[in-house]
Structure 1
Amino acid sequence: MIYQERIAKLRNLILQKPDKMLSLYLNTDRRDQEQQDGKWKIALKTGFNRLEEYLKVSSEEELKRLHSIRQKVEKYIENLGRKRPRGIVIFASEDSGVWEVFELQVPVETRFYWEERPVLDQLTELHKQYPLTALILMQQNQVKILKTNFAHLEGSETIEVDLVFDDWRKNEGPSHVNSSMGGKAVKSANQVDHFEDRVKENQYRWIKSLGSKLDKKIADEKFEKVILVGDKEEGKMLDKNMNKQIDTIIQKNLFNENEHRVVEKLFDVNK
């Protein structure tokens, strides 16, 4: 189940008393100066302690439920070790057995909630900023599709085509039409022009065909946003040949760069 479906499921969830829901947002970003030296551990401990102090006065039954959930949460985060993401969001309840974890590569603001339904405000806002996005990297006859969710790279696919095709090849040999050097030069220039025209024609067909393939890919993957990175003119041509509108076209060549770095650059998640 993709993140968006899980969020929708939580949005419709209401617990029955005396069950309660822990909504936990924890900033575990090692790149954040304020989170150095394991400060997230202090924040986690402090947040749970404050909840427990409140429940000692208001409800011993809820306190027992929170104790059980706390042990599960602390064990889960401890087991992540160095693989901890930048932000962790957990929704958990004892009686109904709800356990939903979102490991995010974007920072969150540490918050604790103990209520009858999940508190989704911060997660919903992050989803608006970083929806399920297709990053389409174009480079001549190659296209790479990066699937990202909450600015996290989930997978990639590369499509490539031979713009010359098997039944036609550039003729680089000498011309036999003219015996003079001038005739050979003219013939060679014509061959080059004809070759380039064919490549452009095939490239247009390729982009038109690519538009259909991308429409299907976007529909199958349920992408919410499409960002194209490459030549703007080719991007505009591709946009005209797609049913799904391209949200943004960025004039850059990032095709051969590290895919994780590409995601970080385009989403600016290091700010």
Structure 2
Amino acid sequence: MDMNKEIKRLESLYLEKPERVFTMYLNTDPADPDQQGGEWRIHLKNGLQNFEKYLKNDVNKEELANFCLIKDKVEKYMREHELELLKSVVIIATPDESIWFAKRFQVPVESEFFWEEIAKLDQLIALHQDYPRSGIILTQKETIKIIETELGQPLESFYFELDLDTEDWRQHTGPHRAAATVGSGGKSTKRELFNNRFEANRHRWYKSIAAKLDKLAKDHQWEYIYMVGHSEETNDLSESMNKTINHFIEKNMLDKNETHVIKAINN
């Protein structure tokens, strides 16, 4: 999802009575002290009922019917995704169904409900500014993993592994293949020999993959880049890239899943 394009599309909305644009920001964060009992259900019920009562009192049957269409669809969405909720839900919808933007995010929002001529996008725009489309580059010697994320959600992952026979970086899908454990024996293990070889060639090997990482960043329009790993490796890799690295994190998280990594860099 290209959030920049999505926001521009939503910004163009304008509907006159009896139609309106429904906007909902709902806090569903289970870690929030105010959400320990699933209070989002109460906020959802009250938020929807308040509009329904107002429209009934306003005696505008056509507008009420339009709102009820949205209300039923929102309630159905929340029922169907109740077990998949993260920290927040954002829904923007129109009665004619030309717009149905419904997303569950791993970032917090303040619960708000609107039924107006336009979509209320202040929170969505602020979220996108705080959590833009980003690339997280994780290094661990001969393995590099890239996680693409936006609004706290993983979008796609890429893996590169160095073929030590050809000294070429090979991209593959699926979880990376963990290096085999080598027992100690004599003065030096095979792993120690590899480590020595890697340190001697690290700059040259990282330089050979830098252009591929720059191309990924350009093609996927990363607005922010994190680099995670041991400082010696991340420094070498970043110096070989043309793209600016916005934030360095000295941790080994290559074997952590995408959600864990994204949560760690956002905390």
TM-score computed with the length of structure 2 as normaliser = 0.82
Structure 2 equivalent of residue 159 of structure 1: 160
Helix, strand or coil at the partner of 1:136:
strand
1:74 aligns with 2:81: no
Unaligned 5+ segments in structure 2 are 168-186, 188-192
The change in CA–CA distance for 1:162 and 1:62 in structure 2 (over 3 A counts) is same
| Corresponding position of 1:173 | none
Deviates more, 1:200-209 or 1:140-149: 200-209
**Using the alignment, how far apart are the partners of 2:127 and 2:195 within structure 1?**
46
Q: C-alpha offsets along residues 7-33 of structure 1, whole Å, 9 cap, x if unaligned?
A: 221122223443210000111222223
Query: Which residues of structure 1 form unaligned runs of 5+?
Result: 167-187, 189-193
Aligned to 2:96: 95
CA drift of 1:38 comes to 2.7
For the residues of structure 1 that align with 2:152 and 2:103, how far apart are their CA atoms? 13
Cα deviation, residue 230, structure 1: 1.2
The equivalent residue for 1:176 is none
Q: Give 3-state SS (helix, strand or coil) of 1:31's partner.
A: coil
1:141 counterpart residue number = 142
- Is this contact kept in 2: 1:164–1:198, CA < 8 A? no
SS of structure 1 residue aligned to 2:36: helix
Mapped to 2, the partners of 1:199 and 1:82 lie a distance apart of 46
Give distance in 1, aligned partners of 2:104 and 2:7: 13
In structure 2, C-alpha distance between the alignment counterparts of 1:96 and 1:162, rounded to whole Å: 51
> Which residue does 2:266 correspond to in 1?
267
CA contact (8 A) 2:18 2:66 kept: no
Superposed, which structure 2 residues align to 1:1-271 within 5 Å?
1-58=1-58, 59-95=60-96, 97-163=98-164, 165=166, 199-200=198-199, 202-268=201-267
Between Structure 1 and Structure 2, how many residues are aligned? 243
Task: Work out the CA distance in 1 between the residues paired with 2:162 and 2:211.
Answer: 15
CA distance in 1, matches of 2:207, 2:63: 60
Helix, strand or coil at the partner of 2:26: strand
SS in 1 for 2:81: helix
More off after superposition, 89-98 vs 117-126: 89-98
Asked if 1 retains the 8 angstrom alpha-carbon contact of 2:135 and 2:225, the reply is: yes
Aligned mates of 2:109, 2:118 — CA distance in 1: 20
Higher mean alpha-carbon deviation, 8-17 vs 20-29, is at 8-17
Once the two structures are superposed, what CA deviation does each residue of 1:97-141 show, in whole Å capped at 9, x if it has no partner? Answer: 311112101121110011111111011111111111111111112
Look up the SS of the partner of 1:38 in the other structure: coil
Mark the CA change 1:13 to 1:209 in structure 2 (over 3 Å): closer, same or farther.
farther
Question: Structure 1 residues 142 and 17, CA, compared in 2 at 3 Å: closer, same or farther?
Answer: same
Q: 1:234 to 1:61 in 2, by over 3 A?
A: same
Q: Residue type matched to 2:123 in 1?
A: Q
More helix by share: 1
CA deviation vs aligned residue, 1:30-63 (integer Å, no higher than 9, x gap): 2223123331111111111111222233333222
CA distance in 2, matches of 1:222, 1:140: 26
Q: Contact (CA 8 Å) 1:130, 1:149: kept in 2 or not?
A: yes
Structure whose CA Rg is larger: 1
- Does the residue aligned with 2:39 lie in a helix, a strand or coil? helix
Q: Note the alpha carbon deviations across 1:224-252, whole angstroms, 9 max, x for none.
A: 11000112233233223222211111111
Q: Structure 1 residue 96: deviation in Å?
A: 5.7
Q: Taking structure 1 as the reference length, what is the TM-score of the superposition?
A: 0.81
The answer to whether the 8 Å contact 2:23/2:113 transfers is: yes
Percent of paired sites with the same residue: 39
Deviates more, 1:31-40 or 1:46-55: 31-40
